């Protein structure tokens, strides 16, 4: 008798997928990735490859293990990604002088030209997303909210 009546309609509405954060985040990720895939189809570039190339471009000579950790990619998966980039002539591994077991990653000349084109295409993709959000202030707000979700979270690739 001490229990208050439950508003079943409110419970059902709350439990609908429209109010489940994880579901909405996943659907948004799928939409963003689909736009990315469509945008980068001509360059034959997937999101993980984009992240690796951008990281190498920003940090030439970085070790494979450091890139894997930064991007949250399992080392074995990074090896396969680097193999693909090397096969396309975009990146190269160079053995370390002190420790010949380690490899540092660099872009090739072809890779550096590719990055210029990649960034030009990416800017269009990014601008479409910003417009869909309602502008840069809303983008910044979304990124701030996502950062709050990530605080203290353990994220693995």
How does pLDDT run across 58-84, given as a tens digit for each residue?
A: 999 999 889 999 998 998 999 999 999
Residue 140 has pLDDT above 70, yes or no: yes
What is the number of helices (H) and of strands (E) in the chain? 7, 2
Is 69 within 8 Å of 51 (Cβ atoms)?
Answer: no
Let me know: does 69 contact 75? Beta carbons within 8 Å. no
Q: Which domains, and CATH codes, for the chain?
A: 46-147 (1.10.10.10)
pLDDT of 1: 44
| Cα–Cα distance for residue pair 123/100, rounded to 1 Å | 38
For residue 90, pLDDT beyond 90: yes
Number of other residues whose CB lies within 10 A of the CB of residue 86: 15
């Amino acid at each position: 008798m001490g229990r208050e009546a439950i508003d079943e309609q409110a419970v059902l509405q709350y439990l609908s997928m429209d109010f489940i954060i994880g579901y909405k985040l996943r659907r948004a990720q799928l939409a963003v990735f689909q736009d990315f895939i469509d945008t980068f189809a001509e360059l034959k570039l997937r999101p993980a490859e984009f992240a690796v190339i951008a990281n190498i471009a920003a940090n030439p000579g970085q070790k494979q293990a450091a890139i894997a950790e930064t991007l949250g990619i399992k080392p074995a998966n990074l090896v396969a990604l680097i193999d693909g980039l090397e096969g396309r002539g975009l990146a190269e591994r160079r053995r370390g002088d002190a420790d010949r077991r380690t490899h540092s990653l660099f872009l090739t000349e072809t890779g550096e030209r590719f990055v210029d084109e990649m960034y030009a295409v990416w800017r269009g993709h990014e601008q479409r997303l910003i417009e869909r959000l309602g502008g840069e202030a809303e983008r910044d707000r979304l990124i701030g909210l996502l950062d709050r979700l990530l605080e203290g979270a353990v994220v693995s690739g």
